[in-house]
Structure 1
Amino acid sequence: MNGRRVAAALLAVFVLAAGTACGIADADETSVATKDTLVIGVNADQPGVGERTESGSYEGFDIDIAREIAERLRVTDVTFTPVTSATREEMIQNGDVDLVVASYSVTPERKVKVSFAGPYYVAHQDILVRRSDTAIRSIHDLQDRRLCRVPGSVSFPRVHDEQGVAARPVVANGYSGCLTGLTAGAMDAVSTDDLILAGLASRHGRDLRIVNAPFTDEPYGVGIRKSDVNGCEAVNKAITRMYQDGTAARLLAKWFAPVGLKVTTTVPQFEGCV
């Protein structure tokens, strides 16, 4: 009887060990650190950051960052697919995308659902207004003003909920919609990350102005599934090398120097992968 129990116990240990090893192998096989192809979620409606052109290709700072990360992971087969502020977490969790590089601010709420490599840049929330509107000089001047709200984005809640400024929401599907509403006079201001605002302003530089009154830090992370620690660490190494060899500084200058945005070219402090 004791012999049978010992044999059963050894068998259970063997099965458990085999299952664990299989799980580790499966995790490694699906890690972005070992993949030959990558599907990367990006924005399609943010000029200068992530935008789909009329030809169907993508361009912008985030797109170049995504390409650099893939290249440094030795992946040449990269597919870009559009994401929105409202769909990013779900697409990572469902495996629809391997990574998300989409002006994706790292927040505690988001870290419950996904992990983040990086950040690859720390932006700052600011305000974009019509050049003729000289009354808006800071976040406090947005009181009772019509402010663009994009579903799933944290930018409007940053103003209304966190800062306690009772702006009036005007909903748009994306920041290109915000730009249309602002230039048409349907809203008074757009408040989001300064990189996004710089891209929007570049389309209507003579008619719009950035207030230059930043009030948050917005660390842009690379979204990745929570269990992929190896992939997260590999992406962090790629980002570090981009800053060390001057690639990050070159890309920041390429996309944002023309509109006079002051950028930071030192390696951001990483979030950690565990």
Structure 2
Amino acid sequence: MKVSLKQVLLTTLAATVLFAGNVYAGTTYDKVKNDGTVNVGLMYNSIPAAFFNEKNEWVGFDIDIATEVVKRIGTYMEKDLTINKVKVNNKTRISFLTSDRIDLSVANMTHKRERDKTIDFSITYFFDGQKIMTKKGKYSDPKDLVGKRVCAMQGTTSEKNLVNLLKSLGDENAEKNVISFQTAPDCFLALAQGKVEAWSTDSTILLGFAAKQAGMFELIGDFISDEPYGMGLPEDDSKWRDAVNFAIQDLWTDGTYMEIYNKWYGPDTPYYFPMTAKIEMWP
């Protein structure tokens, strides 16, 4: 049978594509060990978790924790791993995981059952709660915000929690009065300019932005909700999930976690947030 050059090329191309697709078939753990790089999704405008400082350096609590987690996983593998930082936001941090653009998401992500239908989570690595921030001295209680415009970040659990809170306080137009913005800086600017009367999200994010203009803003009321942060992981990938969990626990055990925590949230920082819980430990 006579085979044309075109058929030969097509067959070769198909085999090449098939081979390339199978090179990293298997777990994320094996892929990382093979290429020596962990693609980590991180926020870039969330102070003090992950942001660019005045020197344009990408810094923050999540940056330091993610770097240490990658380092520990490399130790388990007996290999030096490189962390490749990838910018994500509230909308992309999950889709980047499901599309294999990142291996790990360390991005202010509350572990929710709804999210767990799509991705997996590590054990809780940070303990936060949602609060409300207003201009200093203007309001003292969340009930004072009934009927007022209040900001939340679009697509977050904070947005849903805020609507539910205002409804419980008697705001019949809560869904209309909760104004959604894409990013934390957008919300902060809207509050500073008086376009909204308050902003509600995780308290450490609010503390970070309030510190930019010390004395002008304050957090009011009790916590609206608990917000346990987990590191987002690819679905059904237990070997990789175990490696991440072991790294978090080892950071806690040897004191590295609290060193990083106090660097960003300790009493000598503008973002003081006392530690009230501890990392889940396995014997």
SS in 2 for 1:63: helix
Q: Is the 8 A contact 1:33 1:231 kept in 2?
A: no
Structure 2 equivalent of residue 15 of structure 1: none
8 Å CA contact 1:126–1:215 kept in 2: the answer is yes
Match of 1:224 in 2: 233
Q: Is the 2:165–2:224 contact (alpha carbons within 8 Å) kept by the matching residues of 1?
A: no
Measure how far apart 1:230 and its partner are: 0.9
Distance 1:204 1:195, change over 3 A: same
Q: Aligned to 2:96, which of 87, 91, 97? A: 91
How far 1:34 sits from its partner (Å)?
Answer: 6.7
Q: Is the 8 A contact 2:24 2:31 kept in 1?
A: no
Between the aligned partners of 2:186 and 2:212, the Cα distance in structure 1 is 13
Once the two structures are superposed, the pairs formed by residues 155-170 of structure 1 within 5 Å of their partners are: 155-161=158-164, 164-165=167-168, 166=171, 167=174, 168-170=177-179
Task: Write the distance in 1 (CA, Å) between the matches of 2:43 and 2:112.
Answer: 18
Match of 1:107 among 93, 98, 112: 112
Paired residue for 1:175? Answer: 184
Match of 1:201 among 200, 210, 229: 210
Residue 52 of structure 2 is aligned to residue 47 of structure 1: no
What's the counterpart of residue 142 of structure 1? 145
Which one-letter code corresponds to 1:71 in the other structure? K
Identity percentage of aligned residues? 25
Q: State how far apart, in whole Å, the 1-side matches of 2:124 and 2:32 are.
A: 17
Aligned residue in 1 for 2:274: 263
Deviation at 1:52, TM superposition (A): 3.0
Which deviations, in whole Å up to 9, do the C-alpha atoms of 1:122-154 show, x marking residues without a partner?
111111111131x2323x333222111222211
C-alpha contact 2:162 2:178 (8 A) present in aligned 1: no
Q: Once the 2 structures are TM-superposed, how far is the Cα of residue 262 of structure 1 from its aligned partner?
A: 3.5
In structure 1, the residue matched to 2:77 is none
Selected match of 1:184 from 170, 175, 193? 193
Q: Does 1:80 align with 2:85?
A: yes
Corresponding residue SS for 2:124: strand
Any stretches of 5+ residues in structure 1 without a counterpart? 1-21
Mapped partners of 1:163, 1:152: distance in 2? 18
In structure 2, what is the equivalent of residue 242 of structure 1?
A: 251
Question: Which residue of structure 1 lines up, in the alignment, with residue 27 of structure 2?
Answer: 27
Letter matched to residue 46 of structure 1: S
5+ residue gaps, structure 2, are 1-21, 75-79
The Cα of 1:38 is off from its aligned counterpart by 0.8
Cα drift, residue 163 of structure 1: 6.4
The amino acid of 2:46's aligned partner reads Q
2:262 equivalent to 1:253 = yes
Aligned-residue offset at 1:189: 1.0
Q: Which moved more, 1:168-177 or 1:25-34?
A: 25-34
Q: Does the CA-based 8 Å contact 1:44-1:50 persist in structure 2?
A: yes
Native 8 Å contact 2:211 2:271 kept in 1: no
Q: In 2, are the aligned partners of 1:249 and 1:265 still within 8 Å (CA)?
A: no
**Could you tell me whether the CA contact under 8 Å between 1:148 and 1:170 is conserved in 2?**
yes
Match of 2:4 in 1: none
Partner of 1:60: 60
Equivalent residue letter for 1:116: F
* Structure 1 counterpart SS, 2:26: helix
C-alpha RMSD of the superposition: 2.6
Q: Is the 8 A contact 1:136 1:142 kept in 2?
A: no
Equivalent-residue separation in structure 2 for 1:124 and 1:65 (angstroms): 19
